[in-house]
């Protein structure tokens, strides 16, 4: 970050985290009257106003938001920016949805102007929802990744993205080859990984659309670049699981295919993880690979119910994703809403504190970015949001009756969406303000 911004302080309620609220007493910290101090795009301090007011010099600009809540910006760990315009496309499950809507839609990203246009709109949507970092799939076209990174760089956002790899079982017009996918990904890593706030993710779409040769090549790139991210889908749908068993005979499980090719490790993020077994969960926990739970998508496509209890028992890193266009909302608040209901269906209770943690500091920790984003700790990048408890008449009435910070936050998770996001800041600068 090259910008030099003078010191600004924001006074509001504050939500910060010291650890996973599910396992750490006092993991979530709620400050009734808090102060966040930011300078040159980074957090200087965050805590009680009474403790930090002495740091307000004459030069400090003070922004007051009485009654509002400042929290770290949301992290969406699984989304497809090219699917923005095809959100809410009805189909009888994942595989017909891919054939009918997804592949034809992704074809149009061969046009760089179209890709640039959708990338801008996508970022507008994320910021309106309070999402400051996303792990996004692009399409098979390398230019679709350039378009996303260029748009993100211009707004100084921290985004993780990658060109999709797929060299079989998809229309001819969307295919790369093991060699071209390797070369294009290597060039994109050289061009974008760690350039400013941009980070690259190797993106084999899912095992069925890659030949063993392509997965082998992807694993080789992953070994060359241990700090590059990896993103794919696993065990989302029962027909898909059967298909993988046919395509890759001799593997213990679907997840084992990825492990075989060296794609299970820290910074590897797998969407869905619904139909895993206990051995799979143990392998994810041991390797540090992350499950991205995408409840709005899983319900919309009828994929199944993610098992929070088993994930917790296995000690497997978990974060939340919207999975738009399979998912039905860009809002991480709406994603929490449906995550809560899915957890209830499997006998697990997700508190509001934990859902906010999963969408911020917990996601950052799972991604190995805990000192950088998802936190208001001094030195972190100042990506944060301002939530409005009076965003709608109903939210105002419910939050007014809340008996505890937990209940107050829970109302946001159940009733909130982009309307609840008053402002979104990226690297200390306002990137969105609600109309």
Name the site residues for ligand GUN (rule: CB under 6 A): 80, 94, 98, 102, 205-206, 233, 236, 297, 323, 326
Q: Which listed range, 125-133, 263-271, 309-317, 379-387, lies at the site for Zn ion (CB under 5 A)? A: 263-271
Residue 154 CB, nearest distance to Zn ion (Å)?
A: 25
Which option in Zn ion, ligand GUN, none does residue 205 bind, with CB closer than 5 to 8 A by kind? ligand GUN
Report if residue 204 touches Zn ion, rule: CB under 5 A: no
Pairing state between β 268-272 and 229-234: parallel
Rounded to whole angstroms, how far apart are CA atoms 133 and 208? 28
Pairing state between β 61-72 and 384-387: antiparallel
Assess contact for 162 and 138: CB atoms under 8 A: yes
Residue closest to 257 by CA, chosen among 202, 210, 203, 319: 210
Q: Which residue is nearest to ligand GUN (CB)?
A: 326
Rounded to whole angstroms, how far apart are CA atoms 253 and 26? 38
Rounded to whole angstroms, how far apart are CA atoms 263 and 265? 6
Residue (98 or 284) nearer to ligand GUN, CB: 98
Rounded to whole angstroms, how far apart are CA atoms 17 and 152? 27
Rounded to whole angstroms, how far apart are CA atoms 91 and 300? 9
Among 271, 317, 374, 416, binds Zn ion (CB under 5 A): 271
Residue 323 CB, nearest distance to Zn ion (Å)?
A: 4
Report if residue 323 touches Zn ion, rule: CB under 5 A: yes
Residue 74 is given by DSSP the state E
Which option in Zn ion, ligand GUN, none does residue 130 bind, with CB closer than 5 to 8 A by kind? none
User: How many Cα atoms sit within 13 Å of 323 on the Cβ side?
Assistant: 30
Q: How many residues does the chain have?
A: 435
Residue 100 CB, nearest distance to ligand GUN (Å)?
A: 12
Residue 196 CB, nearest distance to ligand GUN (Å)?
A: 27
Which option in ligand GUN, Zn ion, none does residue 94 bind, with CB closer than 5 to 8 A by kind? ligand GUN
Residue 65: burial class (beta carbons within 10 Å; 0-12, 13-18, 19+): middle
Which option in ligand GUN, Zn ion, none does residue 236 bind, with CB closer than 5 to 8 A by kind? ligand GUN
Tokens of 238: 């029962």
Residue closest to 316 by CA, chosen among 264, 246, 369: 264
Neighbours of 4 (CB within 10 A): 8
Residue (326 or 374) nearer to ligand GUN, CB: 326
Residue (83 or 132) nearer to ligand GUN, CB: 83
Which option in ligand GUN, Zn ion, none does residue 102 bind, with CB closer than 5 to 8 A by kind? ligand GUN
Residue (145 or 395) nearer to ligand GUN, CB: 145
Residue 294 CB, nearest distance to ligand GUN (Å)?
A: 7
Residue (71 or 234) nearer to ligand GUN, CB: 234
Residue (10 or 101) nearer to Zn ion, CB: 101
Residue (68 or 205) nearer to ligand GUN, CB: 205
Residue 325 CB, nearest distance to Zn ion (Å)?
A: 9
Report if residue 325 touches Zn ion, rule: CB under 5 A: no
Residue (247 or 387) nearer to ligand GUN, CB: 247
Residue 183 CB, nearest distance to ligand GUN (Å)?
A: 22
Q: How far is CA 352 from CA 22, 337, 383, 411, 412, in A?
A: 11, 9, 20, 8, 9
Q: Which listed range, 64-72, 211-219, 267-275, 377-385, lies at the site for Zn ion (CB under 5 A)? A: 267-275
Residue 327 CB, nearest distance to ligand GUN (Å)?
A: 8
Assess contact for 145 and 165: CB atoms under 8 A: no
Residue closest to 285 by CA, chosen among 303, 263, 264: 264
Residue (205 or 293) nearer to ligand GUN, CB: 205
Which option in ligand GUN, Zn ion, none does residue 206 bind, with CB closer than 5 to 8 A by kind? ligand GUN
Rounded to whole angstroms, how far apart are CA atoms 370 and 63? 26
Which option in Zn ion, ligand GUN, none does residue 382 bind, with CB closer than 5 to 8 A by kind? none
Residue (47 or 327) nearer to Zn ion, CB: 327
Assess contact for 386 and 422: CB atoms under 8 A: yes
Assess contact for 109 and 86: CB atoms under 8 A: no
Residue (77 or 424) nearer to Zn ion, CB: 77
Residue 163 is given by DSSP the state P
Number of residues that bind Zn ion (CB under 5 A): 2
Rounded to whole angstroms, how far apart are CA atoms 221 and 184? 11
**Which residues pair with residue 423 across a beta bridge?**
386, 433
Which option in Zn ion, ligand GUN, none does residue 21 bind, with CB closer than 5 to 8 A by kind? none
Q: List residues near Zn ion by CB under 5 A.
A: 271, 323
């Amino acid at each position: 970050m090259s910008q030099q911004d003078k010191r600004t302080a924001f006074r509001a309620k504050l939500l910060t985290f010291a650890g996973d609220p599910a396992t750490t007493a006092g993991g979530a910290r709620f400050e009734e009257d808090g102060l966040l101090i930011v300078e040159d795009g980074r957090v200087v301090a965050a805590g009680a106003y009474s403790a930090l007011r002495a740091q307000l010099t004459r030069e400090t600009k003070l922004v007051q938001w009485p009654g509002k809540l400042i929290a770290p910006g949301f992290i969406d760990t699984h989304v497809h920016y090219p699917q923005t315009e095809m959100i809410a496309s009805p189909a009888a499950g994942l595989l017909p949805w891919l054939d009918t809507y997804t592949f034809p839609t992704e074809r149009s990203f061969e046009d760089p102007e179209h890709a640039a246009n959708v990338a801008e709109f996508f970022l507008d949507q994320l910021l309106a929802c309070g999402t400051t970092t996303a792990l996004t799939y692009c399409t098979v076209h390398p230019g679709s990744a350039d378009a996303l990174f260029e748009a993100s760089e211009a707004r100084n956002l921290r985004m993780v993205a990658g060109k999709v790899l797929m060299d079989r079982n998809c229309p001819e017009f969307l295919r790369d080859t093991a060699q071209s996918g390797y070369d294009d990904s290597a060039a994109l890593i050289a061009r974008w990984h760690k350039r400013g706030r941009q980070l690259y993710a190797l993106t084999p779409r899912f095992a069925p659309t890659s030949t063993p040769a392509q997965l082998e090549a992807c694993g080789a790139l992953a070994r060359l670049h241990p700090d590059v991210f990896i993103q794919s889908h696993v065990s989302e749908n029962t027909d898909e699981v059967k298909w993988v068993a046919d395509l890759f005979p001799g593997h213990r499980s679907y997840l084992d295919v990825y492990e075989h090719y060296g794609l299970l490790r820290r910074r590897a993020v797998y969407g869905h993880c619904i139909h895993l077994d206990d051995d799979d969960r143990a392998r994810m926990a041991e390797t540090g690979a992350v499950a991205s739970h995408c409840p709005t998508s899983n319900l919309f496509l009828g994929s199944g119910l993610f098992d929070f209890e088993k994930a917790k028992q296995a000690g497997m890193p978990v974060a939340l994703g919207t999975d738009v266009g399979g998912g039905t909302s860009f809002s991480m608040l709406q994603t929490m809403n449906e995550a809560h209901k899915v957890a209830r269906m499997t006998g697990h209770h997700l508190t509001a504190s934990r859902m906010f943690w999963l969408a911020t500091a917990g996601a950052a920790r799972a991604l190995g970015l805990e000192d950088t984003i998802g936190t208001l700790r001094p030195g972190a990048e100042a990506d944060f949001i301002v939530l409005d408890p009076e965003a709608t008449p109903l939210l105002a009435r419910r939050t007014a009756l809340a008996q505890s910070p937990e209940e107050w936050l829970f109302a946001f998770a159940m009733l909130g969406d982009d309307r609840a996001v008053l402002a979104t800041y990226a690297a200390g600068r306002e990137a969105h303000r609600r109309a």
